[in-house]
Amino acid sequence: MPQPSITTQSITLAPIAGAIGAEIAGVDLSQDLPEATVAAIRRALLDHLVVFFRGQSLTPAQFMAFASRFGRPVKYPFVKGLEDFPEITPILKREEDRVNFGGLWHSDTVYQQEPPMGTILYGLEIPPYGGDTEFANQYLAYEALSAPLRAFLDGLTAVNMSGKGAVQKTRSDAIERASAGLKGDELVSRHPVVRTHPETGRKALYVNAAHTTQFEGMSEEESQPLLEFLFRHQVKPEFTCRFRWEKGSLAFWDNRCAQHNPINDYHGFRRLMHRVTLAGDVPV
């Protein structure tokens, strides 16, 4: 059940939707945070799957210092990071661009053998309207399925590819501007369709429309009907929240149990974000 706004360890926590997401106030992320505050933020992340902060002012060094309190920052495989901070990936949509980076529902880089445990996104230049991000709770998506379907999915493995057509188009401009040396279609992984979160022990759906192509041992044609059902099911409105960005906003989500979708509805405006992903483990 969603909880009302509460204050703990000098932070104020306010859920923004019934299914997922909470805003945290009372924290200046540019500072060296006390261990108790870091622990409270981590607890909020595990409870709410994505947490949001507003009114932050972070240099790249401060952004990296904050991220490093929660895990080990890792490079994004396809786009170069900042020159002095290669683990920070700039996410830029220019006024003339029509496609936005990662602009469809997905979990970050699940095509890697060890996908990131979390992603942190910081807003530097924000359009006057549009550009919201949606998030979806994959615990609830799994739990809402019938018992027979859950039992069937528990035994399946998903094939995930970095070069699935729709997502490849969303990053082509970024790769063209700042390629890290790969074309974008080289990586393939096999992970459980239902993964168990290593910290909470809860089960979550772990397929996504951007990267999952089929079930292992089945053809794409055989897999497609069930996958298409899951792709629609796992982002139903009752599993989601929507965050409106402002300059200085920061979102930190748990990639192991949440999906996100950056909405591409701000053509003609510039939007610049800085992103850090944190090392994860092999899904089980």
Q: Which residue has the higher pLDDT, 184 or 213?
A: 213
How far apart are the C-alpha atoms of 74 and 235, rounded to whole Å? 27
185 belongs to the catalytic site: no
Give the pairing of strands 50-53 and 22-25.
parallel
Q: Which long-range contacts (CB under 8 A, 24 or more apart) does 181-189 make?
A: 182/77, 182/78, 184/78, 185/161, 186/162, 187/77, 187/111, 187/112, 187/161, 187/162, 187/163, 188/111, 188/159, 188/160, 188/161, 188/162, 189/110, 189/111, 189/112, 189/113, 189/115, 189/159, 189/160
Q: What pLDDT does 171 receive?
A: 47
Q: Which residues pair with 214 in a beta bridge?
A: 159
Q: Which of 48, 197, 211, 275 is catalytic?
A: 275
**92-131 pLDDT, tens digit each:** 999 999 999 888 999 999 999 999 999 999 999 999 999 9
72 belongs to the catalytic site: no
Are 86 and 75 spatial neighbours (Cβ–Cβ below 8 Å)? yes
Least confident residue range of 46-55, 164-173, 215-224, 252-261? 164-173
**Confidence category of residue 193, pLDDT binned at 50, 70, 90:** very high
Which positions ≥6 away from 258 have C-beta within 8 Å? 20, 49, 50, 107, 135, 136, 137, 138
DSSP secondary structure, 103-147, as one string: -SSB-TTTTSSS--SEEEEEEEE--SS---EEEEEHHHHHHTS-H
**Confidence category of residue 81, pLDDT binned at 50, 70, 90:** very high
Q: Which of 48, 108, 256, 271 is catalytic?
A: 108
Give the pairing of strands 157-161 and 22-25.
unpaired
- Mean per-residue pLDDT for 45-49? 98
Q: What pLDDT does 8 receive?
A: 47
Q: Which residue has the higher pLDDT, 182 or 126?
A: 126
**Confidence category of residue 182, pLDDT binned at 50, 70, 90:** low
Which residue in 144, 127, 165 sits closest to 246, CA to CA? 127
Q: What pLDDT does 148 receive?
A: 98
Domains of the chain: 6-278 (3.60.130.10)
**144-155 pLDDT, tens digit each:** 999 999 999 999
What order of strands is seen across the sheet that includes strand 133-137? 240-243, 133-137, 258-262
**Confidence category of residue 165, pLDDT binned at 50, 70, 90:** low
Q: What pLDDT does 267 receive?
A: 96
In the chain, the percentage of residues whose pLDDT exceeds 90 is 86
Q: What pLDDT does 163 receive?
A: 82
260 belongs to the catalytic site: yes
Q: What pLDDT does 170 receive?
A: 54
How far apart are the C-alpha atoms of 264 and 250, rounded to whole Å? 18
Q: What pLDDT does 178 receive?
A: 54
Pair of tokens at residue 161: 């590819």
Q: Which of 48, 106, 171, 271 is catalytic?
A: 106
Q: What pLDDT does 160 receive?
A: 96
Q: Which of 191, 195, 260, 274 is catalytic?
A: 260
Separation of first and last alpha carbons in the chain:
27
Q: What pLDDT does 2 receive?
A: 46
Give the pairing of strands 118-125 and 271-278.
antiparallel
**Confidence category of residue 263, pLDDT binned at 50, 70, 90:** very high
